[in-house]
């Protein structure tokens, strides 16, 4: 049994769907861009998020003492216009301005705060430069 292919165009009429009655168009809210970044003094390591992010050993593998940084070491999150940091139960801790934040939940960061990750690397909170 032979089969044949039909090579004929079939016109397709698509009409736009009108808006439902009683609805209104609302502009999309602009998502705020992150304002801050944690950066080391060389500028090589930069950590920021616009929502939530976790960081750990895999982010520091080229450091000699990376084994002291836990696989899941710290997290950053934005809430409103504030950047927060939390230690994720790391073995060697996370410090903000010299204070160990293990077990303290979300700690707000301010411009210029110094974050020490497991006594291996020091990061400073700075503003993101948009150029």
| Domain CATH code at residue 83 | 2.60.200.20
Cα-based angle 44, 49, 98 (whole degrees, multiple of 5): 65
In a domain, residue 114? The reply is: yes
In a domain, residue 101? The reply is: yes
What residues make up the domain containing 120? 36-127
In a domain, residue 95? The reply is: yes
In a domain, residue 100? The reply is: yes
In a domain, residue 17? The reply is: no
In a domain, residue 40? The reply is: yes
What's residue 50's pLDDT? 85
Reply yes or no on whether the pLDDT at 130 is more than 60: no
Reply yes or no on whether the pLDDT at 131 is more than 50: no
> Could you give the CA distance from residue 9 to residue 76 in angstroms, rounded to a whole number?
56
Do the beta carbons of residue 34 and residue 128 sit within 8 Å?
Answer: yes
Check residues 127 and 85 and name the one with the higher pLDDT: 85
- pLDDT, one tens digit per residue, over 5-59 is 666 666 667 777 777 777 677 776 665 566 889 999 988 899 988 899 999 999 9
Tokens in use for 40? 């080391």
This model's pTM is above 0.85? no
In a domain, residue 91? The reply is: yes
How many domains are there within the chain? 1
Tokens in use for 55? 């960081």
> Could you give the CA distance from residue 70 to residue 91 in angstroms, rounded to a whole number?
6
């Amino acid at each position: 049994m032979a089969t044949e292919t039909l090579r004929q165009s079939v016109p397709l009429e698509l009409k736009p769907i009108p808006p439902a009655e009683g609805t209104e168009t609302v502009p999309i809210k602009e998502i705020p861009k992150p304002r801050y970044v944690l950066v080391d003094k060389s500028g090589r390591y930069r950590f920021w998020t616009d929502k939530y992010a976790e960081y750990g050993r895999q982010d520091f593998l080229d450091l000699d003492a990376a084994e002291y940084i836990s696989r899941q070491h710290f997290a950053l999150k934005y809430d409103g216009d504030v950047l927060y940091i939390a230690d994720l139960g790391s073995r060697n801790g996370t410090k903000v301005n010299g204070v160990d934040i293990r077990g303290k939940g979300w700690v707000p960061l301010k411009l210029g705060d110094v974050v020490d990750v497991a006594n291996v690397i020091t990061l400073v909170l700075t503003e993101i430069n948009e150029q």
